[in-house]
Amino acid sequence: MGINTFKALRVNEDKSGKFTRNIIERKFVDLPDNDVLIKVHYTALNYKDALSAVGNKGVTRNYPHTPGIDAAGTVVESKTPQFKVGDKVIVTSYDLGMNTDGAFAEYIRVPQAWVVPLPNGLNLKECMIIGTAGLTAGIGLYKLEMMGQNPEQGPIIVSGASGGVGSMAVGILAKAGYQVIASTGKENVEKFLKNIGASEVVDREFVNDDSSRPLMKPKWAGGIDTVGGNTLSTLLKGCQPGGSVASCGLVGSPNLSTTVFPFIINGINLLGLDSANFPMKERQQVWNRLAGVWKLSDLDSVTTMSKLEELDPYIDQILRGKLKGRVVVEMGA
């Protein structure tokens, strides 16, 4: 890296609409003119990053672009009194890596409103193991509990349990005292899921009810769904009266076909999770829990470390639903 340049992954679109990825040297002057310049020490891979990396215009409208919605690092320049040079900070979601140059780079420049001081109890690497995936799972539990959910009511089901959001959800629910039913389509992940706190591991088909019944015998007290489609519909049908199901993902399908019966007969609450725009005050409360009472005892066990140059196969795996846990990218101090 030259003194005026830094390393970044860049996704390009050619005239025929084909997308390619390269690691290039970028100039600091080409970063957006925002409040806080951050040296990225760690970033992580999320499903949304993979979509951006392959040219999904629903995530990123214009290319060339640098994906990366999660960053943990040190402030190197600040135009705002809230942050000073040397502060350790994290940025997750908002527009980072979507239509703002993201964290698959040695530096990002972002608005002050997106920056969260490093929570007490976590280091920069741990923050990226948790990342947007863990924040989303944390928002899920926060919202379930706002609706009155508690461990005495019974187990919480997590779909897509071995993925990033799913594995973090299993871990934090267990830390918070819940029994967790982990639903997965992968073979050989039972030990992994039980190690992070699942009390029961079920096959994905268990949450794919294809009967025309509007309701099922209750099998769980609440749920966190990363899959969408018929999985979400099944989670609603099989939820115990008064329970809540939080929806965050669409890896199976963005569609939802349901009747109103789970809502009007069983009083089920369907809760939406949007980590990108989750308000800062509550975001900090969730981070404090992720750093404290909800902190997984062995965060490394859900983590695969990568270098920026090694990300391609992981991007491919996450798009095929094959990735287990979290991939964290070490960018260097």
Interhelix angle for 124-146 vs 164-175, to 10°?
A: 70
**DSSP for residue 144:** H
Span from 33-41, 130-138, 214-222, 296-304 in contact with ligand NAP (CB under 6 A): 130-138
Span from 16-24, 161-169, 212-220, 297-305 in contact with ligand NAP (CB under 6 A): 161-169
Distance (Å, whole) CA 284 – CA 208: 35
C-beta separation of 164 from 328 below 8 A? no
Span from 15-23, 42-50, 216-224, 236-244 in contact with ligand NAP (CB under 6 A): 42-50
**Site for ligand NAP contains 233 (CB under 6 A):** no
**Site for ligand NAP contains 140 (CB under 6 A):** no
Among residues 7, 39, 194, 204, the one that binds ligand NAP under rule CB under 6 A = 204
Which regions of 178-316 does DSSP assign to beta strands (E)?
180-184, 200-203, 220-225, 239-247, 269-272, 303-306
- Least CB distance from residue 14 to ligand NAP, whole Å? 26
Among residues 155, 185, 222, 223, the one that binds ligand NAP under rule CB under 6 A = 185
Q: Given the complex with ligand NAP, which of 215 and 250 has the nearer CB atom?
A: 250
Q: How far is C-alpha 213 from the geometric centre of its chain's CA atoms?
A: 32
Q: Given the complex with ligand NAP, which of 74 and 253 has the nearer CB atom?
A: 253
Distance (Å, whole) CA 232 – CA 250: 9
Return the residues of window 267-296 that contact ligand NAP according to CB under 6 A.
273-276
Q: Token match 């094959």: residue? A: 322
**Site for ligand NAP contains 130 (CB under 6 A):** no
Per the document, the length of the chain is 333
Return the residues of window 303-322 that contact ligand NAP according to CB under 6 A.
318, 321
**Site for ligand NAP contains 37 (CB under 6 A):** no
- Nearest to ligand NAP by Cβ — which residue? 163
- Least CB distance from residue 297 to ligand NAP, whole Å? 21
Among residues 6, 47, 206, 314, the one that binds ligand NAP under rule CB under 6 A = 47
Among residues 52, 60, 162, 234, the one that binds ligand NAP under rule CB under 6 A = 162
DSSP 194-222: HHTT-SEEEEGGGG---S--S-----EEE
Give, in order, the Cα–Cα distances in Å from 47 to each of 125, 171, 267, 320: 19, 19, 32, 10
What own/partner pairs with CB < 8 Å and gap ≥ 24 does 262-267 have?
262/214, 262/215, 262/236, 262/237, 263/236, 265/215, 265/241, 266/215, 266/218, 266/239, 266/240, 266/241, 266/242, 267/241, 267/242
Among residues 41, 65, 175, 186, the one that binds ligand NAP under rule CB under 6 A = 186
Return the residues of window 250-269 that contact ligand NAP according to CB under 6 A.
250-252
How many other β-carbons are positioned within 10 Å of the β-carbon of residue 309?
Answer: 10
Span from 97-105, 162-170, 235-243, 258-266 in contact with ligand NAP (CB under 6 A): 162-170
Q: Are strands 200-203 and 220-225 parallel, antiparallel or unpaired?
A: unpaired
Q: Given the complex with ligand NAP, which of 76 and 250 has the nearer CB atom?
A: 250
C-beta separation of 234 from 216 below 8 A? yes
**Site for ligand NAP contains 55 (CB under 6 A):** no
Q: Token match 């934090």: residue? A: 172
Span from 41-49, 70-78, 214-222, 293-301 in contact with ligand NAP (CB under 6 A): 41-49
Judged by the rule CB under 6 A, the positions of this chain that interact with ligand NAP are 46-48, 132-133, 136, 160-166, 184-186, 204, 226-227, 248-252, 273-276, 318, 321, 323
